[in-house]
A and B are shown apart, each in its own frame.
Chain A
Amino acid sequence: MRFRAKIVDLACLNHFSRVINTIAKLAKTCTLRLTVNKLYFILSDRVANGGVSMWCELCQGNFFDEFQMEGVAADHNEIYLELMPENLSRALKTAQNAKAVKIKLTNKHSPCLKVAVELPSLSSSSRIVTHDIPVRVIPRRLWNDFREPVVPDFDVSIYLPVLKTMKSIVERMKNLSNYIVIEANLSGEMNLKIETDVVSVTTHFKDLGNPPWASEDGCQSSAQGRDLQSMAEVRIDIKKLQQLLVGQQVNPTKALCTGLVP
């Protein structure tokens, strides 16, 4: 089992740090899955109890200059590690003007992800900052827990408005109620509603656009035959939604929200 990677480009490093920071805000521990071409950050809380489940897929070529991975076995050429993304985020925080960042999986006394940052310095040789992040190797028998979640059949799928706007609205609504209702339809309209005994507040968004989903096997998904104007609504815990929005540091090109009404 071997893993080494190197980032040399500052923009890539910056982007990677921001992704890690986002993940660090969402979860205390998460799973890092390494394959030959991709990195995945996975958090699979049991969705039933309203937890946050996260699946983050990164293409290694977009970030790393060098990437070498040898998995646990030839036929299972992957590595699953459990780590605290907060540690990784901290390690990269002070590396923003680094000459190079090398990440390596080591096992001196115990498995660690060693992040070695080479910083420029006034003297001839550079400063080297090494961070040893303790990790736990997840055995193969548990790999099934981390399968990619399937996007379920949905009723409505809509592009979100600018996340910053949404974040500030949700933050104010958080003070008034514990649950928020998100309503959306296939005409690009979305409402965020809260209702209490004393007050009810609704924010309307228009012209958001709906992403086209090609249906598989040609069969009609439940969204197909839907009336364009009718709203599908879901009620979620506002704190969890806010946690998700607060953590967003990467400016997404598109953010989608898909809702399935039970």
Chain B
Amino acid sequence: MLSPTPSFLLEKRGKYLTFPLKLFWRKLRGATCFPVDLKCISSCFVSLAVFGRAVHAMARVSDEFCFDPIDKGLALRSVNSSRSAYAYVFFSSMFFQHYCCTAAPQPCQKERQLSLACKLIIKSVLPIFRCVNMLERHVEKCNIYTNAKDHHITFQLLCRNGIVKTHNLAFQECDPLQAVFAKHLCPNVLRAHSRLLADIMVHFPTSQEEVTLSVTPTRVCFKSYTEENTDFPKTMVTEIQLNPDEFDFFQVGVDSEVTFCLRELRGLLAFSEATSVSVSIHFDTPGKPVAFSIEDVVLEASFILATLSDSRSEMASQEPACFSQMQESSKTCTDKSIDKDGGAEAAASKKPRWNRQAQNTVSGAPASPLAKQVRSVPTVSYRDTAGTGGTAATKADDRAVLEAESPYHKVRTLPITFTFYDRTVTYLRWHLEAAHYTQSQSSEVISPHVLFHISHSCDLHFPVPFVVLWSSFF
């Protein structure tokens, strides 16, 4: 029985073992010389304020961040201590007036990647960019350069009246961690100008820790979340209801309520206000992470926050993205664990032909005794065609049924989505759930099920005939 990982999957890129300058020294395996001699010069930002705000945003997430220059630009990453928030800001080389990132590998090292990631303590960097307003007014130019030999990053601020401030900061080399989160697979996507989000968040007190975002196709609601006993509340509860019209882009595939930490998000909101780019929110069901991202020609940022998993489950622990499980359990459900590209092939093998008549067969319960015990058959209510905008109410209901009736002590769901290629249906997706569970009461082991749910967003404008293939064993 595989247990879910306690944080979303973080991928390590490259392995570096070298000498951090602070307290602990990790021994290099073998060679004593440094892997790369990296010179990275980036200077004179198009907007110092934007860079300063990025550092402030990182500061909200963690005490240290990873400063990772690569060819294409400069990436800043940070992860909080409980691994429940990941912040990533990428400035492309065009953001800087001059950007140069070179690496000269030493002869003693063979397969080293040509990038050097440095871990910096926020407390040392933040004072440099502390007062963002002052930055714009007084600082004319800012140079940043690193020299791996010295283990220092130098921030040089050239201010007015010939004043030059040089800050040499020691860094620690680090394994850059990257969160793996497939935004394109999220059924719910909202996009709004940062001003709108700031206007919403202003209603919550600055001490408000957590906020719940709940969406249905007709309504968006942000509500403050408390873990208090509702019978004797002490704190004020604030709720903001909005019309979906207010968003630049609104897509709800699944009615859901996700709860995330507001404090960590405020950094991104301040940053996006400085850049005045729209903020996109990608999310799924509770438990799966929510991604807030902004994207521009010269920069890109995303904050991925873990969400509280469904309150119906016992532990309100912060659940991971299911991708780690997907990879692990691919052994058991081989054919079905497909990502988008493989989807076509696997689908071909069991090619569901889209035929609306077959819909009726689904509504009937399958003969399998398992279904009786487990759950009622999901009635696929595929609403007829044009623009009536079926909601994924079905899916949400099924989920409710799933969780409420499941007597099994461990249900691991494995969302695998693949888009059907024959049609140019961008919003219609199959959502397969392979549930792997054992029944605690009885001795028999129930083999995996495949359930086909159909979810589609409001924008479906034309009829798509389809067939639902029901299989109880695979």
Contacts and interface: CB of A to CB of B under 8 A. Distances in A.
Interface of A: 87, 90-91, 94, 109-110, 112, 121-125, 127-134
B238 A130 contact: yes
A145 to B, nearest CB: 22
Contacts of B242: 121, 127
21 contacts: A90-B236, A91-B236, A109-B233, A110-B231, A112-B233, A121-B246, A123-B243, A123-B245, A123-B246, A125-B245, A127-B242, A129-B239, A129-B241, A131-B238, A132-B233, A132-B236, A132-B238, A134-B232, A134-B233, A134-B234, A134-B235
A133 B239 CA distance: 12
State the 7 A-B residue pairs at the shortest beta-carbon distance, nearest first: A123-B245, A132-B237, A109-B230, A130-B239, A87-B236, A134-B233, A125-B243
A125 B153 CA distance: 52
Contacts of A90: 205, 236
B240 interface: yes
B203 interface: yes
Contacts of A132: 233, 236-239
B202 interface: yes
A148 to B, nearest CB: 29
Contacts of B205: 90
A110 B232 contact: yes
B231 A129 contact: no
Contacts of B241: 127-130
Interface string B49-64: 0000000000000000
Interface residues of B, number: 19
A94 B202 contact: yes
Nearest to B193: A122
Contacts of A87: 236
Interface string B195-207: 0000000110100
B243 A121 contact: yes
Q: Which secondary structure characterizes the binding site on chain B?
A: loop
B342 to A, nearest CB: 41
A110 B231 CA distance: 6
Interface of B: 202-203, 205, 230-243, 245-246
B240 A128 contact: yes
A112 B235 CA distance: 11
A109 B239 contact: no
A87 B234 CA distance: 10
Nearest to A91: B236
Nearest to B238: A131
A18 to B, nearest CB: 19
B236 A124 contact: no
Contacts of A121: 242-243, 246
Contact of A131 (B230, B232, B233, B237): B237
Contacts, number: 58
Contacts of A123: 243, 245-246
Nearest to A128: B241
Nearest to B239: A130
Contact of B236 (A109, A127, A128, A131): A131
A188 to B, nearest CB: 45
B240 A129 contact: yes
Given A110-B230, A110-B231, 7 more contacts: A110-B233, A123-B243, A123-B245, A127-B240, A130-B241, A131-B236, A132-B239
B236 A122 contact: no
A133 B224 CA distance: 13
Contacts of B234: 134
Nearest to A83: B236
A90 B204 CA distance: 9
A134 B243 contact: no
Contacts of A128: 240-241
Nearest to B242: A127
A90 B208 CA distance: 13
Contacts of A112: 233
A134 to B, nearest CB: 5
A124 B243 contact: yes
Contact of A122 (B203, B232, B233, B246): B246
B240 A124 contact: no
B195 to A, nearest CB: 10
Nearest to B244: A123
Contacts of A133: 236
A122 B196 CA distance: 10
A2 B245 CA distance: 35
B240 A109 contact: no
B27 to A, nearest CB: 54
Contacts of A134: 232-236
A128 B242 CA distance: 7
Contacts of B237: 131-132
Contacts of B202: 94
Nearest to A124: B245
Most A Cβ at <10 Å: residue of B235, B238, B240: B238
A215 B114 CA distance: 92
Contacts of A124: 243, 245
Nearest to B200: A127
A130 B238 CA distance: 6
A109 B228 CA distance: 12
B135 to A, nearest CB: 29
A134 B236 CA distance: 6
A180 to B, nearest CB: 34
Nearest to A109: B230
A35 B39 CA distance: 75
Contact of B203 (A94, A110, A125): A94
A97 to B, nearest CB: 11
Contacts of B246: 121-123, 127
A130 to B, nearest CB: 5
Most B Cβ at <10 Å: residue of A90, A128, A129: A129
A133 to B, nearest CB: 5
Contacts of A109: 230-231, 233
A132 B203 CA distance: 13
Contacts of B240: 127-130
A123 B238 CA distance: 21
Nearest to B228: A134
Contacts of A125: 243, 245
